Amino acid sequence: MVYNRLYDILPQVAENGDLETLAASRGMERDELRKLLASLDEGIPASLYSTLDRDSVVLSPVGQAYAAACAKASRLFRQAELKAESVKRERESCLIVATLSKGAGRAIRQATSCKVKTLLFDSLGDDAPVRLKALGADFDLAIGLIDEAWLRRCRVKVHPLGEVRLAVALDSAHELASRRRLDIEDLYDQRLYVPRKGHSKAIDMLTGDLRAFHPHIMVEECPRRDSALFKALCEEGGLVLVAQEEDLSSYGLKTVAVDWGYKSPYGLIYSQKPSARVEEIMAAVEKVKAE
């Protein structure tokens, strides 16, 4: 934020024009203060002062207007400083985890006494490379589906936590939405959108099997992994392949389990140069896993 703090002196001048007193209050010599005041007048269309001599200073109408504006600007600047300090303190005391569902941050909460905030994030999404550039800045680490080849392109490290079942997302008005679990035959004559090939070996294997052994399922590659697009496709009656824990409820979509054996690895995603705090979290998570 750019604001010349030298102008903070003008409201003081408006209250007391005695240079000796003003100089003492600012820990300056009187001549030094007078030179400073004169420098503030440079580049101003009309002078800030009606009087500026060896002993005193009196603001002109223009100077009085500047003094009022500077007093307000100084208050706003200080409020911004306090807000920034508050945000910094909160950021330092809070661990921000980007994850495919709010519940997926459970492993982190078990491993740390820090306050944990979560934000939704699709590790295989087309925007993942861009969002992961903020890893270590806007958020500390991520939890999501991991495919090392894909994430290597994002220049991050991964720490496997296990596997998560793959499921389908559908519109709440879909004929299958009332079901808690689907058989694979329930997907026959349904249009199922899957990620483009190369995003995940596990999903590529599922896609290949469906096309080979269940041709009645209309498998199509999704143009991109994007929650808003998922919503549009599901509103048209389609199904979208997702992780079973993926939270799409804010888009009016329901995730339904499928009775098949397909899973995808998931785990922690973190910076190639993790902070000391993230390294501590990683060690704590590993300890929790071992118990």
Instruction: Please name the CATH architecture into which domain 100-286 falls.
Output: 3-Layer(aba) Sandwich (3.40)
Question: ∠ at Cα 218 (214, 220), nearest 5°?
Answer: 120
Extents of the domains making up the chain: 5-80, 100-286
Q: For 116-169, what is each residue's pLDDT tens digit?
A: 888 878 777 777 888 888 888 888 888 888 876 777 777 888 888 889 999 999
d(CA 261, CA 291): 26
Is CATH 1.10.10.10 correct for 5-80? yes
Amino acid identity of residue 28, one-letter, is: M
Mean pLDDT, residues 189-205 taken together? 91
d(CA 245, CA 22): 65
Of 208-212, 245-249, 262-266, least confident by mean pLDDT is 245-249
Residue of higher predicted confidence among 74 and 168: 168
Of 51-65, 188-202, 275-289, least confident by mean pLDDT is 275-289
**Mean of all residue pLDDT scores within the chain:** 85
With 70 as the cut, is the pLDDT of residue 213 above it?
yes
Asked whether the beta carbons of 63 and 49 are under 8 A apart, the reply is: yes
Residues found in the chain? 291
Indicate the pTM of the whole model: 0.65
With 80 as the cut, is the pLDDT of residue 14 above it?
yes
